[in-house]
């Protein structure tokens, strides 16, 4: 263990602790301390709502500031639904781009595509929001939602299209999580041992057979990790979703109708919340969101780390 | 033979499909850039748009050239991102040095895990935290609380990119410094850090670009303002907040301003991004020569 650690970069000291290590170690502790402080602060601020509603908060579907009866169920539904629909839309595209980026050769094209995807990640979410609101959502309403509901509207959950709603929010989310999905999947696919691929080709497998039956299956755990990480991003995305989801605090009957997510309820209502119970309920929504993303992110990190480590060991 | 023909055919079709999906992935980038430029440019070409502050909406009868502008939002974004950088970059760089130089220390694994989790924390939740921590005790919105929220967002990015850059520096440099009798802090800060500077600067610039584009943490911390403000203890406007608020209002003139502000924002963020990329590429070219 010690030998392996020494082989990596970094000072390996004979004396286990020196003054500098203490100083930078304490500065670095700002990160975990901050994380703890965020959770504790939100917990403390949400306390009135937690005590008042108890566990029923997560199943209650009502959100009424007048009677001060608050429940998180519609927002949790909207958050989870949009995130999963976005993943379903983005996953095939993201993996395809990752496969193309991980292939050797064509460096110019690859550099172009890679830069494009990374710029996609750099665009602020509010710019996606205004684009989705004025361009994507009207287009998707006319060319995707209306045709689908005309031809398949007899299936209950594919009816009543709307410009702002669950589906269009998922569509813009899919675009936004694509870079996360692609970047990590590419690294994972690149980490697949070359021997595996060479063996497949030597046995006479075509490019497609090599990719589909050898490379993707051995990168499976890592791609799954990338998917979960993208899920975490999708769950927490606020502004772009707020602009196109339609802001109706209900569990909608069809996938096109207006709804709400945890993050967008907070973004829209927090500055107007008065009294003690109303802001506390909003902060409890934030607490639910933060805890869900923590669990999702930890799971994703474990999956990505273990899959790239296994691949490295196999080489 | 027939079967092999089919296999080759399937393979080419599969490859073609992958390239089609790749093109599909790039379409949104083109569309976002195109519409932002096409709809934002008519506002931005008037110089006063960048310097004036907001005027009330003039619907239904607007003069052909509106006097309204987003000067206050540009200044606000500059001030808040500046304060956030002053907080997050020094702390993040030192934290990153700790992670890279003492990667065997057990505590560094916890710091690494915490920063990976903090990167994934929804920005709206960080806004709630800054609100509870810095707005509630002082009973009013302030640009400073917004800057702190942005700093929390930037910190894990700076930490992890600094770690990556510092860990790339070969051990020979450290060993020669130690062999000359330099204390460890001088080895880390005066030998290793300058050698890793391009990577560290890239990370810092990326975090600045990320913070400049964030809306959610500012909504209930900096809140927004209608006039030019320089005082960080009061509310202040920011570019992304301008886009968010104006885009949802029913006035055509304000929606045009939102597109203009979006164009300014995207030009700012993408140019910071491309500059940082260029620095890194030059660094890699230099490292190849060594």
Per the CB < 8 A criterion, the answer to whether B97 and B162 are in contact is yes
Tell me the average pLDDT across B189-194: 93
Tell me the average pLDDT across B14-18: 91
Q: Which of residues 31-90 of A touch B (CB under 8 A)?
A: 31-32, 34-35, 37-38, 41-42, 44-45
Distance from the Cα of B215 to chain A's closest Cα (Å) equals 7
Distance from the Cα of A279 to chain B's closest Cα (Å) equals 10
Tell me the average pLDDT across B259-275: 94
Residue-level pLDDT, tens digit, chain A, 315 residues: 333 444 444 555 445 457 888 999 999 999 999 999 999 999 999 999 999 999 999 999 999 999 999 999 999 999 999 999 999 999 999 999 999 998 877 788 888 888 899 899 999 999 999 999 999 999 999 999 999 998 887 887 887 899 999 999 999 999 999 999 999 999 899 888 889 999 999 999 999 999 999 999 989 888 999 999 999 999 999 999 999 999 999 999 899 999 999 999 999 999 888 888 999 999 999 999 999 999 998 888 888 887 777 655 554
Rounded CA separation A212/A205 (Å): 10
Nearest alpha-carbon partner for B168 in B95, B100, B79, B66: B100
Rounded CA separation A136/A170 (Å): 11
Find the domain containing B164 and state its range: 71-289
Rounded CA separation A172/A241 (Å): 8
pLDDT for the residue B3: 85
SS3 content of chain B, % helix, strand, coil (to 5): 75, 0, 25
pLDDT for the residue A87: 95
pLDDT for the residue B57: 64
Rounded CA separation A152/A143 (Å): 14
DSSP assignment string, B180-224: TT--HHHIIIIIIHHHHHHHHHHHHHHHHHHHHT--GGGTTTT--
A63 φ, ψ (degrees, to nearest 5):
-140, 90
Tell me the three state secondary structure of residue B140.
Answer: coil
Flag whether B173 is in a domain. Answer: yes
Per the CB < 8 A criterion, the answer to whether A132 and A244 are in contact is yes
Higher pLDDT, B63 or A271: A271
Residues of A in contact with B101 (CB under 8 A): 10-11, 21, 24
pLDDT confidence bin for B287, thresholds 50/70/90: low
Per the CB < 8 A criterion, the answer to whether B72 and B237 are in contact is yes
CA atoms lying within 13 Å on the CB side of residue A13: 17
Flag whether B116 is in a domain. Answer: yes
Flag whether B162 is in a domain. Answer: yes
Per the CB < 8 A criterion, the answer to whether A244 and A167 are in contact is no
User: Does the beta-carbon distance from B28 to A175 stay under 8 Å?
Assistant: yes
pLDDT for the residue B47: 84
Rounded CA separation B285/B91 (Å): 29
What pLDDT digit, counting tens, does each position of B166-185 carry?
998 999 999 999 999 999 89
Tell me the three state secondary structure of residue A237.
Answer: coil
Residue A194 CA, chain-centre distance (Å), reads 30
User: Does the beta-carbon distance from A125 to B129 stay under 8 Å?
Assistant: no
E strands within chain A?
63-64, 69-70
What tokens were used for A246?
Answer: 């339609």
Interface with chain B: mutation pick from A42, A127, A260, highest number of B CBs within 10 Å: A127
Flag whether B8 is in a domain. Answer: no
What tokens were used for A186?
Answer: 């590419």
Flag whether B105 is in a domain. Answer: yes
Average confidence score pLDDT of chain B: 90
pLDDT for the residue B290: 42
- Compare all CA atoms of chain A with the CA of B205 and give the residue at the minimum distance: A122
Q: Assess A135–B contact: CB distance below 8 Å, yes or no.
A: yes
Q: Output DSSP code: residue A70.
A: E
Rg (CA), chain B: 24
| Domain topology for A42-314 | MetI-like fold (1.10.3720)
> Per mean pLDDT, which range of A107-116, B112-121, B279-288 is the poorest?
B279-288
In degrees, rounded to 5, the angle at the alpha carbon of residue B159 between the alpha carbons of residues B157 and B164 is 95
pLDDT for the residue A310: 65
pLDDT for the residue A14: 45
Interface with chain B: mutation pick from A39, A41, A103, A122, highest number of B CBs within 10 Å: A122
Beta strands A63-64 and A69-70 are: antiparallel
Per the CB < 8 A criterion, the answer to whether B190 and B114 are in contact is no
Rounded CA separation A101/A104 (Å): 8
Domain containing B120 — which CATH number? 1.10.3720.10
What tokens were used for B51?
Answer: 């310097």
Flag whether B27 is in a domain. Answer: no
Flag whether B276 is in a domain. Answer: yes
Rg (CA), chain A: 23
Q: How many domains does chain B have?
A: 1
Partnered with residue A69 across adjacent β-strands are A64
Flag whether B168 is in a domain. Answer: yes
Domain spans of chain A, in order of start: 42-314
């Amino acid at each position: 263990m010690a030998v392996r650690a020494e082989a990596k970069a970094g000072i390996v000291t004979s004396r286990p602790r020196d003054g500098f290590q203490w100083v930078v170690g304490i500065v670095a502790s700002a990160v975990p301390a901050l994380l703890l402080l965020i959770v504790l602060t939100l917990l403390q601020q949400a306390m009135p709502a937690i005590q008042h509603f108890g566990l029923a908060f997560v199943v209650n579907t009502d959100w009424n500031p007048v009677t001060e009866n608050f429940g998180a169920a519609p927002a949790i539904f909207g958050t989870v639904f949009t995130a999963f629909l976005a993943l379903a839309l983005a996953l095939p595209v993201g993996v395809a781009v990752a496969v193309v980026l991980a292939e050797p050769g064509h460096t110019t094209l690859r550099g172009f595509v890679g830069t494009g995807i990374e710029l996609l990640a750099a665009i602020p979410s509010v710019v996606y929001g205004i684009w989705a609101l004025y361009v994507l959502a009207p287009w998707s309403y006319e060319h995707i939602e209306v045709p689908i509901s005309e031809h398949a509207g007899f299936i209950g959950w594919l009816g009543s299209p709307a410009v702002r709603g669950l589906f269009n929010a998922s569509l813009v989310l899919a675009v936004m999580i694509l870079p996360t999905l692609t970047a990590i999947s590419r690294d994972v696919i690149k980490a697949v041992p070359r021997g595996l691929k060479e063996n497949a080709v030597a046995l006479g497998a075509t490019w497609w057979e090599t990719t589909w039956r050898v490379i993707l299956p051995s990168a499976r755990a890592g791609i799954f990790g990338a998917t979960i990480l993208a899920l975490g991003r999708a769950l927490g995305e606020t502004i772009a979703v707020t602009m196109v989801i339609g802001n109706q605090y209900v569990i909608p009957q069809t996938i096109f109708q207006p709804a709400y997510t945890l993050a967008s309820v907070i973004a829209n209502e927090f500055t107007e919340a008065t009294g003690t119970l109303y802001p506390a309920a909003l902060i409890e929504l934030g607490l639910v969101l933060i805890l869900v993303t923590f669990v999702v992110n930890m799971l994703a990190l474990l999956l990505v780390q273990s899959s790239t480590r296994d691949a490295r060991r196999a080489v | 033979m027939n079967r092999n023909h089919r296999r080759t055919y399937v393979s080419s079709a599969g490859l073609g499909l992958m390239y089609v999906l790749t093109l599909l992935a790039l379409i949104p980038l083109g569309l976002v850039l195109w519409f932002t430029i096409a709809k934002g440019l008519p506002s931005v070409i008037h110089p006063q748009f960048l310097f004036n502050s907001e005027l009330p909406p003039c619907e239904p009868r607007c003069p052909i050239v509106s006097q309204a502008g987003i000067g206050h939002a540009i200044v606000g974004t500059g001030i808040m991102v500046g304060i956030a950088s002053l907080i997050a970059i020094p702390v993040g760089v030192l934290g990153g040095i700790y992670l890279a130089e003492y990667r065997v220390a057990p505590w560094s694994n916890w710091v690494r895990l915490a920063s990976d989790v903090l990167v994934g924390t929804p920005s709206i939740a960080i806004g709630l935290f800054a609100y509870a921590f810095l707005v509630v005790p002082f009973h009013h919105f302030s640009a400073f609380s917004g800057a702190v929220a942005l700093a929390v967002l930037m910190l894990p990015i700076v930490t992890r990119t600094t770690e990556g850059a510092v860990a790339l520096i070969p051990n020979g440099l450290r060993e020669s410094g130690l062999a000359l009798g330099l204390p460890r802090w001088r080895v880390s800060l005066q030998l290793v850090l300058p050698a890793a500077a391009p990577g560290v600067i890239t990370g810092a610039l990326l975090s600045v670009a990320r913070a400049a584009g964030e809306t959610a943490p500012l909504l209930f911390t900096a809140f927004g303002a209608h006039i030019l403000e320089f005082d960080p203890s009061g509310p202040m406007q920011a570019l992304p907040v301008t886009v968010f608020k104006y885009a949802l209002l029913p006035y055509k003139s304000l929606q045009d301003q939102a597109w203009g502000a979006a164009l300014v924002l995207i030009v700012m963020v993408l140019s910071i991004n491309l500059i940082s990329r260029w620095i890194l590429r030059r660094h890699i070219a230099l490292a190849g020569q060594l």
